[in-house]
Structure 1
Amino acid sequence: MIPGAMQPYALTLDKFIDHAAKWHGATEVVTGGDAPARIGYAALRERANRLSGAFAELGLRPGDHLATLAWNSQAHMECWYGAMGIGVVCHTLNPRLSVAHLAVMIQQAEDRVLAVSPGLASLVQELVEQCPTIEHVVLLDEPGMDHPAPVVPRATLWAYEDLLDTHGTVMPWGGFDETSPAGLCFTSGTTGAPKGVTYTHRSNYLETVHLLQADVIGMTSRDVVMVAVPMFHANGWGLAFAGPAVGAKLVLPGRNQDGASLTRLINQEGVTIAVGVPTVWLGLIDHVEATGEELPSLRRVVLGGSSVPQALMDRIEQRLGVVVQTSWGMTELSPLGTISPASEPVRDATRSGRPPIGVDLRLTDNTGLPLSSQRGAEGCLWVRGASVVERYYGQTEPVTDAEGWFDTGDLATIDATGNLRITGRAKDLIKSGGEWINPGEIEAIVGALPGVALVAVIGRAHPKWGERPVLVVEPRQGAEVSDDMLVGALKGRIANWWMPDAIVRLSAMPLAMTGKIDKIRLRAEHG
C-alpha cells in the first residue's frame, strides 16, 4: 500500500500577511502620532509586496541582509514583510545603541541596505562612513516625523515613497525553504560582546503559534493590540506576526511612548491588550494616577523584558482594573520562555508562568547535571525548543549541549504547579566572605514596597569580604522612602549578612538600551 501524504506547505512568514489581507483586509494597522496613520491589512500587504520588488531592484537577494534602524511603524512593518517575503534577512537594530556598537553589528552582518526612521537620520552619516557594505539608505515615512534628510557619503539615499514609486513592482513571495533565515537580532551584550541570533521562517512561525495559544496571549480578531515593545527587541516579541495571523488590529506607538501619548492612543483606538517592558507601564501608571484619566477599553497588560516590581504590578491591577500577565524570555528564545495565563491571575510578580507547548525547561546544578527534583529547588535554568537558538550568527560551534539544551544563565525555581520563578542571574550573584548573596531576592522584597518605583542591588568591592551589596532605589514620584523602611522590610526575611551596606537613592534609574535597569552603569558609578 502507498501511504497518503500531506501538502508540503512551507511555514514561511509571508503566509501571515497573505492571510490577513485575504480575510481581514480592512482591519487596521495604526501608527501613533499627532495625526495617526492608518492602513488596512490588504493595502499594507500590497505595499509590502511592491517593496519586495524595490528591494530586489536595489540588489538584495535571498540570504542578503536588510538592516532596519527604526521605531514601531507601518513603514517598518512593511520593510519586514517586504524583505522576508523574498528571503531577505531583516536585521533589526536598536536606535538607542552607540554608533560604535551599531557599526560592529552591521559590519558583522554585512548589511547592504539600511532603512531608517527620519528622526534617526543623524546616525546615518557616521554609520555609512564606518560600514562599507551599506550601498543604499532608505529614509522611512512616519507620521509626525518631518526631519531633514541626512547627508549620506558614498551610499545612495532614497525617500521611502520615491523608492516605492520608482522601483516598486509585484513580486512572488515564498518559494524557499522554511528553515531559511528570516531575521537577525543581536543580544544586548550585558555579559560580553553582543551575539547575533538568527531566526528562521520556521522558528518564527512556530513562535507565533506559541503566542496564539489561549494561555499565552491568545489574541483574536476582536482585539486591538498595542505593540509598545520595540520591533527591534527579538522581532517585537512576534506581535507583528501574531496580529495578522488572527486579524487583530495593531497599534504601533512610534517613538513617543511617554505616559500621556500612550494613554491618548489607548483610548483613541480602543486598545484591549497592551504589551511592553515594565518601565513603559511605570510611565503610563504615573500619568493616569496624576491626571485621573481612565482606560476603559484595556483588559490586559503583558509585562516582560525584565523583572516586575510587585508594587508596579499592584498599581496597574488596582488602578486600571486589568489582568496583568508576567512573562520571561530571552533574545535566544525568540523570545518567549514562560508566561502567566490570563485565566489564572496571580498576585505574585516574581512568578513568570509556565512554558507553552514547544518550549521545555530543565533545572540543573552548577555542573549541568539535572536536579533530582525539578520542583521546589533552585537551579540553573536550561531551555530547548523549536524557537531556541542552536548556535550564534557567524559561529560554527553550537551553544547547546548534546541533548539540545541551552544554558540561559538564569537561576530559577519551578513550583508544584509548574510556574517558573527567576531568582537571579548567575552573573549578578555577589560573593561576600566566600558565600553567595542573591540580589534578586532582595530586589523582590524591596520592589513590593508601595513607595518604590524601581530597585536594583549591585556588588561593591570590599577589602575584607570581597564584595558587599548596595541597594539602589528610585522612589515613586512624591513618595518618601526612608532607610528604616527599606531595612525594616528586609529584616527577618533575609540573612543578616545579606543586609546591604549602603542605600543609594536616584531620581531616575539608569536604563539600558532594552529598557532594563543598567546594572553595568550602576556598578561603574556606585559599585
Structure 2
Amino acid sequence: MDERTMTGERLHAGSMQRHDLTVEKFLDHAAKWHPDVTVASAGPDGVVRTGYAELRREAGQLAAALSARGITRGDMIATLGWNTKGHVLLWYAAAAIGAICHTLNPRLSAAQLAAMTARSRPRLLLYGSGLSSLASEVTNGALATIAIDDPERSAGTSLSELITGGEGNMAPVWGAALEDDPAGLCFTSGTTGPPKGVLYTHRSNYLHTLRLLQADALALTTDDRVLPIVPMFHANGWGIPFAAPAVGAGLVLPGRNLDGAALAGLIASEAVTVAAGVPTVWLDLLDHVERHGIALPSLQRIYLGGAAMPIDAQRRLERGLGVSVHASWGMTELSPLGTVAPHGVDRTRPGSAGRAPIGLDLRLTDVSGAVLAEQREAEGHLQVRGPSVVRRYFGAVQDATDSEGWFDTGDLARIDPDGSLTITGRAKDLIKSGGEWINPGEIERIVAEGLDTGMVAVIARADAKWGERPVLIYEASADVDVEALLDGRIPRWWMPDAIVRIDRMPLAVTGKIDKLALRATFGAAEAVASDAVLRA
C-alpha cells in the first residue's frame, strides 16, 4: 500500500480497491462480456473469424508458450508484421506476461530496422507474411525468429505451433505486469529528423484508450465493427486494437493487402461501420468504388490521420462513400491521439483537426517558450501534456518536457474560438528569408486546395542574398498554375523561387510527405528539375 493510500485511510477510514491499469484487461473484458463478437483477419486464404472468448483462450496459451521460452516481465520482443489476428494475439500475450512489444515497420530498410533493434535488444523477433527474408537480414542470425503466419514458417516454428503445441499447454501466466511497466516501443517516422523511440506504459495505453473512446473522439460502441487500416506498427495502430475489445466492438484486420479492391471487399463482407487510415488509402478506395459502381452501405465514419487532406477531397469522400469524415491530429509521442473532429460540428472547416478530448491539455507559446496571453485566434508553438504524452525518449538521459511537463510538439498551430485546433505548419520548416519568416504550411494549404491529390510541399533552399528562399514541389499529372493559386493570398515576397512538378510525391512510411527526401533532391539550386518554374 502506498503512502497516499495509507494517508487516505487514516483521514477518512476508507479506501478504494487498487487494480493496475494494464492492457490485457481489455481482452479479458471482451472475452467475458462479448465472447462471440468477431475478430476478422484477412489473409491469402480468405478471412479468418474468431470470437473474443476464443481469442483470449489462444492468447493465454501463447503467453504460457512465451514464458516457457524464457520471456519474462521486462523482456523485449520485436514484431515485424501486418494487422492480423496473430499480431493482435502476440500483443496481448506479451502484455499479459509483462513483456515489451517493439513494433518494427516492414517498410523500412533492414539497416534501419537493425539499428533500432540494436537499441531495444529484443529476445525474439516475430515476423509476418512475406517478411521472412527481411527478418533474416535484420537479425543476421543473431536473434531467434518465429513466424506469425503459417505460410512463413522458419525452421518449423510458427505462432500457431506455440499456441497448440506442448509449450502452450502449461499453466498460463497472465497478468504479470504492473501499470507503470513498459508495454510497447515505437520509433517516430523520422520525416524531419532521426527516429526517436517512444516507450509506452500499460497505464499510458489504458488511459489513452479511455480518451479514444470518448463520444467526442472515436465514440466506438459494441454495435460497431472497426477496421484499423492504420498499421499496428504506427503508434499502436492509433490504439484501435485496444479500444475495440474495450467496448466489445468487432475488430476487422486487413492484413498486408490495402488496395481499393481488397478493402472494399472486406468492408462489405464484414459490415464495417468505422474505419481509420491515412488519406492515400481512402482516395484509392474511393477511386475503386466509383470505377466499379460499388456501394458500401454499412460504412458510417472514416477517421483521417497521418497527413492533412484538402477540404475538397474530404467532401468528395463524404459524397462518394456516404460517410462522415473526421480529421484528426496526433503524434507517436502522444500515443498518438491529440485532437479529433467530433460529431455535430463543422468537420470540413479548412485545416481543422478537431478538439482535444479530456486527458490531453494544449497551449500555445511564442518562439521563446513564453505562454501566449491570448490562446484563441492566435498562432503559436504548440505544446501538450497529459498521462499519455512522452516524458523522455527511449534511451535518452534528459526529459523531452519542460519543468512543468509540457512537451513541445514542433508544430505551429491556432486554436479557434470553439477550441478546434488547426495545425498551421512545422516550426522546423519555417523559412527565414531576409530576416523575416515564411510559413510553408500556409502556402501548402492554399495550393493543396487546387490540386486533385493535394500533395504539395514547400522546402527551404539556401540563398546567398536572402539566407533562405522557398521552393515548392507538387504532385500532378499535368502542369498547374501555382502562381495563380497563390497570387493575392500570400505576401508577394513569400512566392516560391522555384515551382517543381513531379509525378509522385515521396512519402514516409506513415503516409506523410518525406521532406528529408525532398530537401536532398531539391534543396540545392543546381538540383531544380528541368520543368521547374524559376523566379528572378
What pairs up with 1:419-430 in 2 under 5 angstroms?
A: 419-430=420-431
Query: Aligned partner of 2:147: which letter?
Result: L
Answer whether contact 1:354 1:418 (CA < 8 A) is retained.
yes
Where 2:130 maps in the other structure, the secondary structure is helix
Q: 2:79 aligns with which of 68, 75, 87?
A: 68
Name 1:107's counterpart in structure 2.
118
Cα deviation, 1:434-466, whole Å, max 9, x if unaligned, reads: 222111111111111253442222223333323
Change in CA separation of 1:182 and 1:239 when aligned onto 2, cut-off 3 Å = same
Q: 2:139 aligns with which of 113, 124, 128?
A: 128
Cα distance in 2 for partners of 1:374, 1:97 equals 39
Cα distance in 2 for partners of 1:454, 1:78 equals 37
Cα distance in 1 for partners of 2:275, 2:125 equals 29
Answer whether contact 2:191 2:513 (CA < 8 A) is retained.
no
Answer whether contact 1:325 1:345 (CA < 8 A) is retained.
no
Cα distance in 1 for partners of 2:233, 2:305 equals 15
Q: 1:29 aligns with which of 18, 36, 39?
A: 39
Cα distance in 2 for partners of 1:59, 1:390 equals 30
Cα distance in 1 for partners of 2:495, 2:509 equals 30
Where 1:352 maps in the other structure, the secondary structure is coil
Deviation of the 1:402 alpha carbon: 0.8
Name 2:148's counterpart in structure 1.
140
Matched, 1:409 2:403: no
Matched, 1:523 2:524: no
Name 2:301's counterpart in structure 1.
300
What pairs up with 1:61-460 in 2 under 5 angstroms?
A: 61-129=72-140, 132=142, 134=143, 136-141=144-149, 146-147=151-152, 149=153, 158-164=157-163, 165-169=165-169, 170-449=171-450, 451-460=452-461
Q: 1:511 aligns with which of 504, 507, 512?
A: 507
Cα deviation, 1:149-169, whole Å, max 9, x if unaligned, reads: 45xxxxx77222222213113
Cα deviation, 1:396-439, whole Å, max 9, x if unaligned, reads: 32111111100111111101111111110011112222222111
Where 2:470 maps in the other structure, the secondary structure is strand
Cα distance in 1 for partners of 2:292, 2:455 equals 21
Cα deviation, 1:314-356, whole Å, max 9, x if unaligned, reads: 2111222211111111111000111110222421241011111
Cα deviation, 1:234-273, whole Å, max 9, x if unaligned, reads: 1111100000001101111111111111111111111111
Cα distance in 1 for partners of 2:382, 2:76 equals 33
Which 4+ runs in 1 deviate beyond 6 A? none
Cα distance in 1 for partners of 2:348, 2:162 equals 51
Where 1:520 maps in the other structure, the secondary structure is helix
Answer whether contact 1:473 1:504 (CA < 8 A) is retained.
yes
Deviation of the 1:113 alpha carbon: 0.6
Cα deviation, 1:182-238, whole Å, max 9, x if unaligned, reads: 111111223433211111111100000001100100110000111000000111111
Cα distance in 1 for partners of 2:489, 2:260 equals 35
Answer whether contact 1:459 1:468 (CA < 8 A) is retained.
yes
Query: Aligned partner of 1:16: which letter?
Result: F
Where 1:32 maps in the other structure, the secondary structure is strand
Deviation of the 1:6 alpha carbon: 1.1
Answer whether contact 1:451 1:480 (CA < 8 A) is retained.
no
Where 1:270 maps in the other structure, the secondary structure is coil
Answer whether contact 2:309 2:454 (CA < 8 A) is retained.
no
Cα distance in 1 for partners of 2:139, 2:156 equals 11
Change in CA separation of 1:205 and 1:118 when aligned onto 2, cut-off 3 Å = same
What pairs up with 1:6-17 in 2 under 5 angstroms?
A: 6-17=16-27
Cα distance in 1 for partners of 2:397, 2:60 equals 34
Change in CA separation of 1:185 and 1:444 when aligned onto 2, cut-off 3 Å = same
Matched, 1:52 2:51: no
Cα deviation, 1:456-514, whole Å, max 9, x if unaligned, reads: 22223333323322222223xxx75532xx22221111111111222222222111111
Cα distance in 2 for partners of 1:435, 1:457 equals 16
Cα distance in 1 for partners of 2:13, 2:487 equals 69
Answer whether contact 1:323 1:345 (CA < 8 A) is retained.
no
Where 1:500 maps in the other structure, the secondary structure is coil
Query: Aligned partner of 1:72: which letter?
Result: N
Matched, 1:494 2:505: no
What percentage of aligned pairs have identical amino acids? Answer: 56
Cα distance in 1 for partners of 2:486, 2:220 equals 40
Answer whether contact 2:95 2:177 (CA < 8 A) is retained.
no
Q: Which moved more, 1:238-247 or 1:506-515?
A: 506-515
Where 2:227 maps in the other structure, the secondary structure is strand
Query: Aligned partner of 1:334: which letter?
Result: S
Name 1:42's counterpart in structure 2.
53
Answer whether contact 1:362 1:381 (CA < 8 A) is retained.
yes
Answer whether contact 1:48 1:79 (CA < 8 A) is retained.
yes
Answer whether contact 2:73 2:176 (CA < 8 A) is retained.
no
Query: Aligned partner of 1:518: which letter?
Result: D
Cα distance in 1 for partners of 2:466, 2:397 equals 41
Change in CA separation of 1:311 and 1:503 when aligned onto 2, cut-off 3 Å = farther
Query: Aligned partner of 1:87: which letter?
Result: G
Change in CA separation of 1:430 and 1:120 when aligned onto 2, cut-off 3 Å = same
Query: Aligned partner of 1:160: which letter?
Result: L
Where 1:118 maps in the other structure, the secondary structure is coil
Answer whether contact 2:67 2:173 (CA < 8 A) is retained.
no
Instruction: Give the total of aligned pairs.
Output: 510
Where 1:298 maps in the other structure, the secondary structure is coil
Name 1:153's counterpart in structure 2.
none
Where 2:112 maps in the other structure, the secondary structure is helix
Deviation of the 1:54 alpha carbon: 0.9
Unaligned runs of 5+ in 2: 1-10, 524-536
Query: Aligned partner of 1:166: which letter?
Result: G
Unaligned runs of 5+ in 1: 151-155
Where 1:240 maps in the other structure, the secondary structure is helix
